[in-house]
Chains A and B, each alone.
Chain A
Amino acid sequence: MSTIARYWAWIAAALALVALPHIFSSGASITMMSLMGFAVIFALSYNMLLGQTGMLSFGHAVYYGLGGFITAHALNIIGAGKLPIPLPVLPLVGGLAGLSFAIIFGWVSTKRAGTAFAMISLGVGELVAACSLILRGFFGGEGGVSTSRTSTLQLFGLSFGPQIQVYYLIAAWSLACVGAMYAFTRTPMGRMCNAVRDNPERAEFVGYSTQMVRFIAFCTSGFFAGVAGGLAAIHYEIVTASVVGAAPSGFVLLMAYIGGVAFFIGPIIGAILMTALQISLSDYTGAWQLYVGLMFVLMVMYAPLGLAGLLLMHRPLISAGVFSRLLPGYALAAVPALALFAGAVLVIETAHHLLVKASDGPAMRVFWVSYDANSPVAWTVFAALIATGFLAFRRTWPVVSGAWHEATLEARRKLAK
């Protein structure tokens, strides 16, 4: 992408962030977009480690969570002391908290790379999670630490009471952080992160301490995770001990991986999609985490470059103008894929109903169809959907890969000209 195009991309992103709440103006969608904002920062900060430096962390929520707690405490102190500090700078407090803890824990954990680093990150995560149960003064015990974002110094008449104001605060911070993290990838340090990911040994022989590269990457990543945590604290006005636990550490890995860790844009896509799924799916089904897990496993097995990889794979074909040749194949394969998907969803939902909501009786409803969870007919239909979907998908797949092959050849021919 040329410099001019990139410049316009940022302006377009800024305009989109301004316009979005006017298009999706319901309270629920503004809340969802706010959540997406800090999820994007969190996932990108995680990918500074995984995708860019090759460090697999199982404890990244530590810096997110601690950033959140410190921000909440700071808000309470500011509110109580009537300190002249406006709310918009508070995510910086979260970031500095994330940075401080990353310096402490990173000093230890970045002495090692690879599996040892991953294990240490898991250990640190467990350690902090355990502390959250013990240090009740700081972590607020069961109830967490609640705070109020409206008791800070108000500038320009902004109270940050209404969600829309919080949305704009989050949007501004998100854009700034995404820009900063993007810039980071284009600095000498960012480049050496990639070098250390690719071949740590050789990096040592061109003058770089791999441990120092990992440490700086870890601290930078901790800073941005802390900013995300601070924004979350401002949004929810409460931080509970669960945010430093293993679940959010796992979820950020899922977001980054499903989006695609090899691309800068990957974790952005992943964070937006996974946040949307988390909120909307959990409304429809209690088994939503199972779907997320299945999706992760499928991505790892069949699309290790993530959604960004799947999308960007098409770019050369689009620019060569041969993308439309893929559409018939995609349409054909989509039919059995949908049948297979519907069958799988019905089995999961029905099993979930029988196992978890047995007391409600067997009557249930999925996809606008009502049926009995223990009716043999229903189960036969599910099995048939899955079996025919699977077999037909295997038959139609060669059409897709054949079309893909031809389109690629054609694109290459056009490029050669």
Chain B
Amino acid sequence: MSAPALQLVDLHKSFGVTPIIRGVSLDVALGERHAIIGPNGAGKSTLFHLISGRFPATSGKVLLKGGDITGLPPYLINRRGLSRSFQVTNIFPRLSVFENIRCGVLWSLGYRYSFWHLIERLRDARERAESILEQINLAARRDVQAGLLSYAEQRALEIGITIAGGADVIMLDEPTAGMNRSETEHAVELIRRVSEGKTLVVVEHDMSVVFDLADRISVLVYGQVIASDTPERIRANPAVREAYLGTAASLEHADA
């Protein structure tokens, strides 16, 4: 059997004396769309940071496709095929929309730190960036400075940069936060399309999106995974219902 796309082994993280992630073990199978849900402040984003190398874990291990990536810097993890987006938009504000995407493309096409290629002549980089722009519906905004985009457009760009490098494990932290209904629908379609044949880990508050998209759902509460299962079983899980007491209605709602 091939190794899982992502394997977390008893991961812990404390900020000072405050434990935030308290022993998370989780397997995400290859090709799976995995959603992580949980109340505000549960540690979902922190978990993303630990996996992607933004913060070092206090203890525990992270394996990517069987290889140990614990403690590696973000760029090495990215080069091994894991790409992530951020909950708070994290783009290159003074570069144009097109250049933002192209920056996401360059390493994966093997241009590395090249100062012996003229970027305009790199057809593959241009075409790849243009196709991503089409996919995220920003082709018309191509030459606008990214910092001047509207909030929803910046969120779309955030996803675009993340998928640009063609990583096979994609992690999205609340990709649809702050989007309206139709923007959300478009984003979900996009995420479904670009994660075709890839592994997706997504943090999302919108339950209809979660149940629509996910093959499996993990519920993170106060730094621990209290359940990890298929959407149906998660919906029926009493512990999850307990944790989501106030939002039980939204779980029901997602049935519709």
B79 at the interface (CB under 8 A from A): yes
Stretch from A82-90, A137-145, A180-188, A351-359 that touches the partner: A180-188
Say whether A186 contacts B113, CB under 8 Å: no
With A186-B119, A194-B94, A202-B90: A208-B107 Cβ-Cβ less than 8 Å:
yes
With A192-B103, A198-B93, A199-B93: A206-B114 Cβ-Cβ less than 8 Å:
no
B161 at the interface (CB under 8 A from A): yes
Of the candidates B75, B99, B112, the one whose C-beta lies within 8 Å of that of A205 is: B75
Give 8 nearest A-B pairs by CB, closest first.
A207-B107, A198-B92, A189-B115, A188-B111, A204-B74, A207-B78, A187-B115, A195-B103
With A198-B92, A202-B92: A189-B102 Cβ-Cβ less than 8 Å:
no
Say whether A209 contacts B75, CB under 8 Å: yes
Of the candidates B93, B95, B117, the one whose C-beta lies within 8 Å of that of A188 is: B117
Of the candidates B90, B113, B165, the one whose C-beta lies within 8 Å of that of A213 is: B113
15 additional contacts, CB 8 Å, given A191-B99, A202-B91?
A187-B116, A188-B115, A188-B117, A191-B106, A192-B106, A194-B99, A198-B93, A201-B54, A203-B92, A204-B74, A204-B75, A205-B74, A206-B83, A206-B104, A208-B75
The residues of A that contact B74 with a CB separation of less than 8 Å are 204-205
A183's closest neighbor in chain B, by CB? B118
CA distance A202 to B83 in the complex (A): 11
CA distance A199 to B161 in the complex (A): 13
B137 at the interface (CB under 8 A from A): no
* Contact residues of A between 201 and 243, Cβ < 8 Å to B: 201-209, 212-213, 216, 220
A190 at the interface (CB under 8 A from B): yes
Total interface residues in chain A, CB < 8 Å: 27
B73 at the interface (CB under 8 A from A): yes
The residues of B that contact A203 with a CB separation of less than 8 Å are 92, 103
The residues of B that contact A206 with a CB separation of less than 8 Å are 78, 83, 103-104, 106-107, 161, 164-165
B122 at the interface (CB under 8 A from A): yes
With A204-B73, A204-B74, A205-B78: A188-B94 Cβ-Cβ less than 8 Å:
no
With A209-B73, A212-B113: A186-B120 Cβ-Cβ less than 8 Å:
yes
Residue numbers of A with Cβ under 8 A of B are 183-184, 186-192, 194-195, 197-199, 201-209, 212-213, 216, 220
CA distance A315 to B79 in the complex (A): 42
The residues of A that contact B52 with a CB separation of less than 8 Å are 205
CA distance A314 to B95 in the complex (A): 21
Cβ distance B113 to chain A, nearest Cβ, rounded Å: 5
With A187-B119, A202-B161, A206-B165: A192-B113 Cβ-Cβ less than 8 Å:
yes
B44 at the interface (CB under 8 A from A): no
Cβ distance A223 to chain B, nearest Cβ, rounded Å: 11
B108 at the interface (CB under 8 A from A): yes
A197's closest neighbor in chain B, by CB? B94
Say whether B115 contacts A207, CB under 8 Å: no
Say whether A188 contacts B122, CB under 8 Å: yes
Say whether A184 contacts B92, CB under 8 Å: no
Say whether B92 contacts A199, CB under 8 Å: yes
CA distance A16 to B113 in the complex (A): 34
Say whether A199 contacts B78, CB under 8 Å: no
Say whether A188 contacts B75, CB under 8 Å: no
B84 at the interface (CB under 8 A from A): yes
The residues of A that contact B93 with a CB separation of less than 8 Å are 198-199
Of the candidates B78, B84, B115, the one whose C-beta lies within 8 Å of that of A184 is: B115
Most buried by B among A191, A194, A216: A191
